[in-house]
Amino acid sequence: MLPQKQAEEAIVSNLTEMELETREEEKDEEEQQSLFSVKSLLWHGGSAWDAWFSCASNQVAQVLLTLPYSFSQLGMLSGILLQIFYGLMGSWTAYIISVLYIEYRSRKEKENVSFKNHVIQWFEVLDGLLGPYWKAAGLAFNCTFLLFGSVIQLIACASNIYYINDKLDKRTWTYIFGACCATTVFIPSFHNYRIWSFLGLGMTTYTAWYLAIAAFVHGQVDGVTHSGPKKLVLYFTGATNILYTFGGHAVTVEIMHAMWKPQKFKYIYLLATLYVFTLTLPSASAVYWAFGDELLNHSNAFSLLPKNGFRDAAVILMLIHQFITFGFACTPLYFVWEKVIGMHDTKSICLRALARLPVVIPIWFLAIIFPFFGPINSAVGALLVSFTVYIIPALAHMLTYRKASARQNAAEKPPFFMPSWTAMYAFNAFIVVWVLVVGFGLGGWASMTNFIRQIDTFGLFAKCYQCKPPPPTGAAAAAANHH
């Protein structure tokens, strides 16, 4: 018992050191900002509440508008059950990621490694716990997922603003919003998203309840049908979009590192998910109830709701929130790029912003090539989210604690609701097999089939994806009448 007690004391000591070091990192800035308490209040966050707002705000943004489309592919019952299933599964893997972060950091601090002016990232956790091959896998999947996550936010901006102002096509709006979103290079880290996370969640909450209430007020369209699920391709495409919805924890490590007490993160993502359920379930169900199979050809829920002041407000608020979510997805990419070019320790915000700009260019370009709002979510979910935030974390946890000595000296013991290491191992194995077969295998087949169909129908560089055709000109109309 004595060695175990000493190990536990060492862990407590390491966690206290972690907390003190994180506090020391903040102290310099807090002293400088003591005269600017309002700036500190709005700009500088690291509490458990900040982390909760960041997780909830980041988890559901533009995907809120595509969930009714997924319901039309899945049917009402499957849509609701899969949201709950993947929401809880996502919360578990976010918990696993937080445990591995604490393990990595406590081991490094035993070696007197300092993380002042250094943001720990997921690929570094994998490197420290499992070696360079895992680092390479984590880096490849995480960066590619976050790259396309940023692309999706940019596509969504163009798709949404079109419903307020259709004088410009969606591709032109993508150029404009690409330039706007590039300003996120000036936000140094997740510490500085305090006010943005708070506002973002408020905006999403308004939009979700607008969708639900507007759908009920509108009522069911004439001859509405709810025939989903009709085809396996559509069913697994919709399921994979929901997998994507609750796979927003690719930035978990960066959010944890921004906390003053990272060990408090454990259940924050679950609490954020429970709140997100109150937004996604009512809105998706109500819009699908009102419009049914019409949604199969309208991946953006805004396109079917009547144009009025409430809808315009929802569109504008979602645009602002998508700007924030773009920053969430891009910030870890900025960190990786800074580390590659040796600028990560630079304190000048302007120099770092300048160094980050090359990251935005490929995102801008990809958003113009693949403007398929809706289908691209499912493709990214199947091919990238499945590995990035489900399979790799579950496998990493199984391998990190495969030895009895690692389990005995673990910085975090199994949670109270699953106190057995065997049960944790079995549940992680289930996640790996399920997501590999259903998410990556069947979901990958279905979403890529659907994605290729969009390319065949609309072509790459589509100027205005799913836009109404322009009214015929006078000459064209006369010719049509003549024939």
Q: So what's the architecture of 47-458 in CATH?
A: Up-down Bundle (1.20)
Q: What is the pLDDT confidence band of residue 374, given thresholds at 50, 70 and 90?
A: low
What is the average pLDDT across 57-65? 83
For residues 147 and 124, what is the distance between their CA atoms, to the nearest angstrom? 18
Position with higher pLDDT, 412 vs 40:
412
Residue 27 is predicted with a pLDDT of: 46
**3-state secondary structure (DSSP) of residue 373:** coil
Q: What percent of the chain has pLDDT over 90?
A: 34
Residue 378 is predicted with a pLDDT of: 75
pTM here? Answer: 0.83
Q: What is the pLDDT confidence band of residue 289, given thresholds at 50, 70 and 90?
A: very high
What is the average pLDDT across 294-321? 89
Q: What residues contact residue 423 under an 8 Å CB cut-off, 6+ apart?
A: 414
Task: Count other Cβ atoms within 10 Å, centred on residue 35.
Answer: 8
Q: What is the pLDDT confidence band of residue 310, given thresholds at 50, 70 and 90?
A: very high
**Is the pLDDT score of 12 beyond 50?**
no
**Is the pLDDT score of 340 beyond 70?**
yes
Q: What is the pLDDT confidence band of residue 478, given thresholds at 50, 70 and 90?
A: very low
For residues 160 and 66, what is the distance between their CA atoms, to the nearest angstrom? 12
Residue 112 is predicted with a pLDDT of: 81
Position with higher pLDDT, 483 vs 297:
297
Cβ atoms of 384 and 247 within 8 Å: the answer is no
Q: Where are the domains of the chain?
A: 47-458
Q: How does pLDDT run across 136-150, given as a tens digit for each residue? A: 999 999 998 888 888
Q: What is the 3-state secondary structure (H, E, C) of 40-76?
A: HHHHCCCCHHHHHHHHHHHHCCCHHHHHHHHHHHHCH
What is the average pLDDT across 84-101? 94
**Is the pLDDT score of 34 beyond 70?**
no
Q: How does pLDDT run across 452-473, given as a tens digit for each residue? A: 877 766 656 565 655 666 555 4
Q: What is the pLDDT confidence band of residue 483, given thresholds at 50, 70 and 90?
A: very low
For residues 90 and 101, what is the distance between their CA atoms, to the nearest angstrom? 17
Residue 42 is predicted with a pLDDT of: 61
Residue 247 is predicted with a pLDDT of: 82
Pull the structure tokens for residue 75. 């049917």
* Least confident piece of the model among 71-75, 231-235, 285-289: 231-235
Residue 28 is predicted with a pLDDT of: 46
Q: What is the pLDDT confidence band of residue 23, given thresholds at 50, 70 and 90?
A: very low
What is the average pLDDT across 274-299? 93
* Least confident piece of the model among 106-110, 168-172, 261-265: 168-172
CA dihedral in degrees (471, 473, 476, 481; nearest 10)? 70
For residues 404 and 56, what is the distance between their CA atoms, to the nearest angstrom? 36
**Is the pLDDT score of 180 beyond 60?**
yes
Q: What is the pLDDT confidence band of residue 229, given thresholds at 50, 70 and 90?
A: confident
What is the average pLDDT across 431-447? 91
For residues 321 and 248, what is the distance between their CA atoms, to the nearest angstrom? 15
Position with higher pLDDT, 48 vs 169:
48
